[in-house]
Chain A
Amino acid sequence: MIVNSREVTVDNLKKEVKKYHDDGYRFVTETCLNFEGQFKIIYTFAKRYDLDNIHIVTDGKNVPSVSDVYSCALLVENEIKELFGVEFDGLVVDFGGKLMLGESSPISPQADIEIIRREKGGKNE
């Protein structure tokens, strides 16, 4: 399906997510995009086979965790925290940066990635 997600404010996020929960939606996933120093986090829910999406745009600080509404969100929120450096407030279990990354891993490896493409004949491909 083509994604037509609805933007919600960070302040309203928990209320919106709680509404999905109370309406019988299951949590599918969160998807983080990083562009121009900002983060877009898309929340995907499903009822039977129908998907619904909402998103927030944030600077990546003090994002309210929805893991107290959908406990299964704790894994993907810990993953986003480690791979993108987004800080979640109220994570029910915080792995402290050790869910996906090790001691010597790069920090926030998927955030603001500098893309270096192969050069062909002296020109960027």
Chain B
Amino acid sequence: MSEKGTIPFGPQHPVLPEPIHLKLVVEDEKVVEAYPAFGFVHRGLETLAQKKDFNQMVYVVERVCGICSCMHGQDYCQAIEELMGIEVPIRAEYLRTIWAELHRIHSHLLWLGLFADAFGFENLFMQTWKIREKIMDILEATSGNRVIISVNIVGGVRKDISNDQAKWILRELDDVEKQLKDINDVVMNNYTVKERTVGIGVLTKEEAYELGATGPMAKGSGVDLDLRTTGYAAYKYLDFEPIVEKSGDSYARNLVRMKEIFQSIDLIRQALSKMPEGDINVPVKGNPPAGEVISRLEQSRGEVVYYIKSNGTKFLDRLRIRTPTFANIPALLKILPGSQLQDVPVLILTIDPCISCTER
């Protein structure tokens, strides 16, 4: 006869790069209920909007999360620019797109390494992080920093990419693509990877939509939503289609992320070839007028939503950030019950959780 018990998972756990606690109710080895608890790294960054002026806040929001920091800054700047009626130069739109896609690549590679490590595939972990270093080198060479690159400012960007740098980036991306093709077969066709992911943690298309899932979590279940297709920044000038898989299991979510890496390389190539000469920012005068605005963009983990309420001074009344991981936790809580205890680490990593984002 099976017995019910409760197992605490986290906040400190070998597969968790950041602290999250899950209370797992299990019957023998089967999870029947899961309850989350966060707050271990809550920093109250939204509240800082009332203390730092709107230009300083660009650097604060970049610190919401190290992995998609550039896109946090970009979304915040887009919101302020919409409030102030600022039109960003086209070259700045391209530059924002290039840095955002570089962040998507390094985020997905970081996730793939952690995911491989979660089920003991240490060699894959080392290979993916080795490839990721090339992307970090590009970020460092073009911005001066590896992780929090602080290129976005209200009105555009503060750094440019020279023609020589563009040529070097293209050569580096060729190398990254070649190495990724080598490991792609290992990632997607390996017996162990398939055993641990195919048919595990299935989320149907209807469930994904109903639970508000976003990013690869939703795309892996057949939901064809990708905010980049709305044409913000330079995406309106680039050719691409959202990457969608239908099976809704952990394997499908992996496949979406792997394909998105190749797609990002293609987008950067397109952007570098089409980027016009010109200014990279426009001067910003005065404070944002009183008003409310919502700005969204597609981060590596999905849709991030910035709500800003300004009062006409240099301080904002309210900044609220709905991050993709926060939106994907209900889906995680849906797929955990019914799974085996051994699959819990893989299922948690399959949503690519960013706890810093979730807690802000």
Contacts and interface: CB of A to CB of B under 8 A. Distances in A.
Q: Which bracket fits the contact residues of B?
A: 35 or more
B50 interface: yes
Interface in B257-309: 291-296, 303, 305, 307, 309
A49 B294 contact: no
Contacts of A31: 307, 318, 320, 322
Contacts, number: 92
Interface centre among B50, B227, B294, B327 (most CB of A within 10 A): B294
B307 A3 contact: yes
A99 B303 CA distance: 23
Q: Is the interface of A mostly helix, strand, loop or mixed?
A: loop
Contacts of A19: none
Contacts of A3: 291-294, 307
A99 B38 CA distance: 6
Nearest to B293: A2
A93 B47 CA distance: 26
Q: Which bracket fits the contact residues of A?
A: 35 or more
Given A49-B227, A49-B230, A72 B38 contact: no
A49 B214 CA distance: 12
Interface in B7-36: 35-36
A113 B39 contact: no
A26 B157 CA distance: 33
A69 to B, nearest CB: 10
Contact of B307 (A35, A42, A105): A42
Contact of A28 (B39, B47, B210, B322): B322
A95 B317 CA distance: 28
A3 B327 CA distance: 21
Interface centre among B37, B50, B330 (most CB of A within 10 A): B330
B215 to A, nearest CB: 13
Interface in A9-25: none
Contacts of A110: 44, 46-47
Contact of B50 (A70, A98, A113): A113
B165 to A, nearest CB: 34
B326 interface: yes
A33 interface: yes
A27 B209 CA distance: 9
A93 B44 contact: no
B193 interface: no
Given A28-B322, A28-B327, 13 more contacts: A26-B210, A28-B305, A29-B322, A31-B320, A33-B309, A42-B307, A49-B229, A49-B230, A72-B330, A75-B36, A99-B38, A101-B39, A110-B44
Top 3 closest pairs, chain A to chain B, by CB: A72-B330, A3-B292, A29-B322
